[in-house]
Amino acid sequence: MRSILRLLVRLFPVSFRERFGSGMVEQIEQDYDRARTRGFLASFSFALGTAWDLVRSGIAEHVNPTWVSAQPTLSEESDMRSSGQQWMTDLRHAIRSLRRSPGFTVVTVGTLGLAIGVNAGMFSVVNTVLLHPLPYANVDRLVHISGSAPGSGLPDEFGVGDEFYLQYKEQSKLLQDVATYNSGTSTMRAGDRVERIRMSWPTNSLFSTLGAKPILGRLPVAADEDHAAVISYAMWKSWFNSDPAVIGRAYQMSGASRTVIGVMGPDFKFPSDGTMLWISGEIRAEGLVPGRFGTELVGRVRPGTTPAALANELTALSKALPRRFGGSANYAKTIEQHRAVVRTLEQELLGSVARPLWVLLGAVGIVLLIACANVANLFLVRAEGRQRDLAVRRAIGAARGQLVQSQMAEAVVVAALAGIVAAILSALTLPAFLRAAPSEIPRLGEVSMNLTTVVFTLGAALLSALACGLLPAVRASSPDLTRLRDGSRGSTRQRSWARDGLVVGQTALALVLLIGSGLLVRSFWAMRHVNPGYNTENVFTFQIAPEGPTLRDAPSFARFELDFMDRLRALPGVELVGLVDNIPLNEGTSTGRFRTEDMGTNPDAGTLLNSTNAAGDYFKAMGIKVLRGRPFELNDHVSTLGNVVISRTAASLLWPGQDPIGRRLQAPGLTSWETVVGVVDDVMQYGFRDTPQALIYFPLVGTTARSRWTSSPAYVVKTRRAEVIAPEVRALVRSVAPTAPMYRVYTMAGLARDSMVQLSFTMLTLGIASALALILGAVGLYGVLSYVVAQRTREIGVRMALGAEAGQVRRMVVAQGARVVGVGVVIGIVVALVSTRALGSLLFGVKALDAATFIGMSASMVVVGLLASYVPARRASRVDPIESLRGD
Amino acid sequence: MNPLDASGMSLFEYHVLLALASGPLHGYAIKDVVAEESSGTLTPRAGSLYRVLARLITSGLVADAEPASDTPPHPGLARKYYKLTAGGRAALAAEARRLKHAAAMAEKRLGIARSRS
C-alpha cells in the first residue's frame, strides 16, 4: 500500500517533487502508521483518500499550479465531502442514463469485461509463475552451474562431474555453498502401495544451499550415508495421511530400505514440481572417477557476486582437476576447453517459460487497449449527441471540471461493472486455461485468483475507465458555444480526428497480434509436417520396473522381457510389440565415444555418438525405416552375436560414403567389437525442433552376461486401440510382475502433442487474443462509419437529390474507411517489424519477418476493414433524399 | 501583484499562515497544528498541503527556513522548515482584520451583538 502511495507522489511535476517530495512521503508514512493503529478500515479509507488526493493534486499541479480547488474557500475535508457528494450525484445520474440505453451499456461492459477478464487470468499466471520469487531464502544469490567445452564435440552445455563439485566446494571463494542434484524416477513401496515416483539424489548440502528446513524431523547428515530419506509435503499427505509418526520408519525406496528422517514444507519443490523424495549423500574424493559428466549443480554465492565473476573463478579452478583426479588424456583436453556456465537459478528454472508468458500477457494487454479504444469511441459518439446539452450547461456557468466529472462518471460505472464481469469471468475460465497450459510451467498448480489478482483487476478497470472516459469527457466539456446560436447538429468533420485516431490505433494493434499469431500458426504447421523418423499414430508405450531374485543379470532380464513381449502380443488388437531403453520425446539417450577399426587403439579416439537398446519389433512398431541390411532378430537378443543397428547419421559419421554393413565398431569402455547388421532412419529424440541424432542400437542382452542390463525399458505396442488398451496392459503387468509399478504410460500421439504444447498453447492463446482484436477492431470501424453516415444523412441526401449515384456514395464511405484502415495497417506493419522478434525461439521453420505472413495478414486486415465499411456504405447509398431533408 | 492580497485567501491558507506565525515548522508539524487549531475541520492530506505551501511560497508569503537551533535532528530525514515572510505576516494580519470585520457585521445583522448589550 505504501509503495502505491509513494508511486502516486510521482504524479507531481519533477520540480515539485524535488522540493517537497520527501516531506510528502514523510507525512504519508506517518499518517498511514497512525491510521493503522485505528484498524483496517481506517487505514483503507486513509489510503483511498490519500490516493485520490495525490492523483487530483498531482494532475492539478501539472495543469495549473495556482489553481488549488474548484471552490477555493472550502476546507480540504469539506471539499472532499462536497466533491464526494458531487461524485455521488454524478454516479447516480450516470447509472440512470446507462439504464436508459441498455444496448450501449451491454456492449461497453461486455467488451471491457471480456478484455479485463483475459488480462486478469493471464496476470494471475504471470504473477504466480514469474513475479513471485522462488520460495528460497535470498533467491537472488542462488545460481545454477553447468559447463561447456567449445570444440570438444560435447553438447553446447552439459552437467559437470562430481570432481567439479568437490573442487568448487573446497576452493571457491565466491561460493558460500554448493550442491549437486540428479533427478529421475524410482520405485517406492510402503505397505501395499507401490508406485514409480519422481525423486532426486542430491548431496546433503542441497538443503543448506537452498536455505530450506524441514517442517518435521531433521535434515540428513554425513553419518546417515544413503540410508536416510527426506519426503515431500505432498508425499507425506498422500502416502502417509500427514502422520507425524512416519519419521523413523523404514520403507523400500529406490532399491533399498531407507528411513524417513524429515518432511519438507509444501513450498519446497526442488528441482521440479512433483519431486516426492530426496535421498542425499556425500561425495568423496576417494575412488572418484573423473569425467562422468551430467550432474546438475546449484550454488549459493556470497553477497555481491555476479554470475560472470563466479564463472571466471570456477573456470580457473577446474583447470587443476586432471592434476588432482587423474583421468585420460581426452579428459585433460576437455578440461582445457572447459568453461563454467553460471546463470541464476531463476533463469534456469523459469527461463524457457518466461518468454511465452510475457508475450501472451502483452497480447492480452493489446486486446485490452483495443477494447478501451472501442469503448472510448462509443463514449465519444455518445458525448457528441450531448453537445447541445453540454453547451447549455457551460453557458450557464458550469465549471469545465464539473462537466468532465459528470462525463467521467459513466465511464467509471461501466468500468466498475466490467471489473466485476471480468473477475467472475476469469475465476470461471482460469481452471480450463490452466489445464490447457504446458505442465512444464513450474508452480502452475498454485495459480489462483488471489488478492493481487483482484487488485490488478480493479486497477485495470480503473485505468480502463480513465482511458475510455477521459478523452471523450475532456473533448465534450469544451463544447462549441456557437452551436447554441445556429441550433443545428453541426458538422462533425473537425472532431473526427479523435475517432479516426482510435480506429487507426485499433487496426494497428490488431494487425500486430494477427501477424504474431500468423507466425505461430505457420510454425505449428511446419512442426506438424516435420518427419521425426517414426510414426506417432497407433502406438502405446509404458515402462515397468520388475524386481525379483530371478532378475540378476542382463540375460535374465532379457528372458523376462522377451517373454513379457510375447504376452503383450497376445492381447486383442495388438499388431506389433517392441522395446527400447529410451523412448523418443520422453527420454534422452546416453552418449559416448565409439571407435571404428580405422581409428587405431588410442583410447581417446572415437566419434561422439548416442546409444540405446532395442528389441522385438521396435523399428517396425515405431515405423522407423530400415534403410540397409536388417533389423534385430531373436538370435541377436538371446545369444552374444555382437550385432548392432545404427542410424543414418551414425553411419555417415563413422564411415562417410561407404557401406557400413558388416563393419565393426567398439563401444566406449569395452574391448569387444560389434558388427553393423542394419542401418535405420534417424529419429528425433528430444522433440520436433531437434536435429537428428546419431544413434547406435544395441540388442537387449548387451555383449556379455556382465554387461549393463536393460531393467526398465519402454515397451512399444502398435495397435489401433492405443488410446484404450491401458487397463488390459495394467492387468497383464499385475499378473506377470505384481510388485512392478507401471509408469510413463503414454500414447506416442500424446507425447507428440506434449512436445508441442508450448507452441500450441501459445499459438492458441495468441490466436484467441488476435481473433478478439480483429472482431473488436472491425466492430470499432463499423461503429465509427455508421455514426458518420448517420451524421451525414442530410448531406448525402442533398448529394443524391442533386444526382449522385448510389455507387458514388458507397465508394465515398468505403474510401473513408479504407483511409483509416490503410494508415492503421501501415503503422501495424511497422510495429510488427519490431515486435515479432519477441516470439524468438517459439518460431519454427519461419522467420520473424516472414513476408508471406505480413502480406497475408495485412491483406486480411484490409478485407475485414472494407467489409466493416461496406455495411454503413450500403446504408448511406439507400438514403432517401426526401426523407433525409424532411427533418428540417 | 500578490494574487492572495485580493481577499482570495482560503481558510486552509489562512490556517497554514497562522500555524507558521508562531515560528518555523516542518511540513508534518504544520499539518498537525492546522488540524488542531481548526478544531479538526481541516486535516490536510499530503498532496493538498504541499500544493498550498508551494503556492504560498510562490506568492512570497512563506519561505524556506532553518530549524530553530534547539530542535533535535530527526533521524534519517533531512526535514525542511518553513517560515512566514514579512509579506506573509502582513497578509495574515490583513486577513484576520477582514475576518474580524466580516464576523462583526454578521453579528450585528443577526442581532447577536445587540442582545448582549
Task: Report domain extents, chain A.
Answer: 1-68, 150-337, 493-530+756-886, 546-740
Return d(Cα A56, Cα A627) in angstroms, integer.
Answer: 77
Distance CA A345, CA A299 (A): 9
Q: Of B44, B45, B54, which has the smallest distance from its Cβ to A65's Cβ?
A: B54
Question: Which residues 43-82 of A are in CB contact (within 8 Å) with B?
Answer: 49-50, 53-54, 56-58, 60-61, 65-66, 68-69, 72-78
Check whether A494 has a pLDDT greater than 80.
no
| pLDDT of A696 | 93
Report d(CA B51, CA A15) in Å as an integer.
12
Any A CB within 8 A of B99 CB: no
Q: Which residue on chain B is closest to A23 by alpha carbon?
A: B27
Q: B75 and chain A: CB distance < 8 Å anywhere?
A: no
Share of chain A above pLDDT 90, in %: 27
Q: What pTM value is reported for the model?
A: 0.70
- A66–B10 CB contact, under 8 Å: no
* Residue A388 reports pLDDT greater than 80: no
A31 to chain B, any CB pair closer than 8 A? The answer is yes
Is the confidence at residue B73, as pLDDT, over 60?
A: no
Nearest Cβ partner for B77 among A12, A26, A31: A26
Residues in chain B: 117
Give tens-digit pLDDT for A89-131. Answer: 888 888 888 888 888 888 889 889 989 988 888 888 888 888 8
Lowest mean pLDDT among A205-209, A738-742, A821-825, B23-27: A738-742
A628: number of Cβ within 10 Å: 16
Instruction: Report the pLDDT value the prediction gives residue A827, as an integer from 0 to 100.
Output: 94
* pLDDT in the model for residue A703: 57
User: Span A862-882, mean pLDDT?
Assistant: 84
Q: Do B58 and A66 touch (CB under 8 A)?
A: yes
Radius of gyration (C-alpha) of chain A in whole angstroms: 35
At A480, the pLDDT band (50, 70, 90 cuts) reads low
Q: How many CA atoms lie within 13 A of A275 on its CB side?
A: 26
Which of A8, A31, A67, A68 is the best residue to mutate to test the B interface, defined by the most B CB atoms within 10 Å of its own CB? A68
pLDDT at A566 over 90: yes
Could you write out the DSSP letters of every residue in A42-105? HHHHHHHHHHHHHHHHHHHHHH-TT---SSTTS-HHHHHHHHHHHHHHHHHHHHHHHHH-HHHH
pLDDT of residue A224 exceeding 70, the answer is yes
For residue B89, give the nearest of B30, B36, B17, B40 by alpha carbon: B17
CA distance, residue B58 to nearest chain A CA (Å): 9
Say if the Cβ atoms of B27 and A75 lie within 8 Å.
no
Structure confidence at residue A702 (pLDDT): 60
Stretch 11-30 of chain A: residues touching chain B, C-beta under 8 Å: 12, 16, 19-20, 22-28, 30
Mean pLDDT of chain A: 84
- Written as one letter, the residue type at A26 is E
Q: Where are the domains of chain B?
A: 11-116
CATH class of the B11-116 domain in this structure: mainly alpha
Does A7 score more than 80 pLDDT? no
Of B3, B27, B78, the CB nearest to A27: B27
pLDDT of residue B6: 43
The answer to whether the Cβ–Cβ distance between B46 and A53 falls below 8 Å is yes
Q: What is the arithmetic mean of pLDDT over A621-640?
A: 89
* pLDDT at residue A435 greater than cutoff 90: no
Contacts of B53 in chain A (CB under 8 A): 20
- The pLDDT score that the predictor gives to residue A153 is 72
Query: So what's the pLDDT on residue A347?
Result: 85
Q: Looking at the complex, does the CB of residue B45 fall below 8 Å from at least one CB of chain A?
A: yes
For residues A24 and B46, the answer to whether their CB atoms sit within 8 Å is yes
The Cβ of residue B8 has, within 10 Å, a number of other Cβ atoms equal to: 12
Cβ-defined contact of B51 to A78 (cutoff 8 Å)? no
Q: Among partner residues A16, A23, A76, which is closest to B48 by beta-carbon distance? A: A76
SS3 content of chain A, % helix, strand, coil (to 5): 55, 15, 30
pLDDT at residue A207 in the model = 93
Query: pLDDT at residue A160 above 60?
Result: yes
* Candidate from A54-68, A328-342, A827-841 with smallest mean pLDDT: A54-68
Q: Which residue has the higher pLDDT, A61 or A264?
A: A264
First to last CA, chain A: 58
Q: What pLDDT score does A626 carry?
A: 94
Please give the pLDDT value at position A210: 92
pLDDT tens-digit series, residues A683-729: 998 888 878 889 999 888 765 655 667 778 899 999 999 999 999 99
C-alpha cell at B39: 478544531
Model pLDDT for residues A572-591, shown as the tens digit of each residue: 999 999 999 889 988 888 77
| DSSP element (H, E) containing A226 | none
Say which range, A48-52, A287-291, A871-875, has the weakest mean pLDDT. A48-52
Task: State the virtual CA torsion across A451, A452, A457, A463 in degrees, nearest 10.
Answer: 130
CA A732/CA A546 separation, integer angstroms: 13
ipTM of the complex in this document: 0.80
Query: Residue A484's pLDDT is what?
Result: 58
Which chain B positions have a beta carbon within 8 Å of A19's beta carbon? 54
A757, pLDDT greater than 80: yes
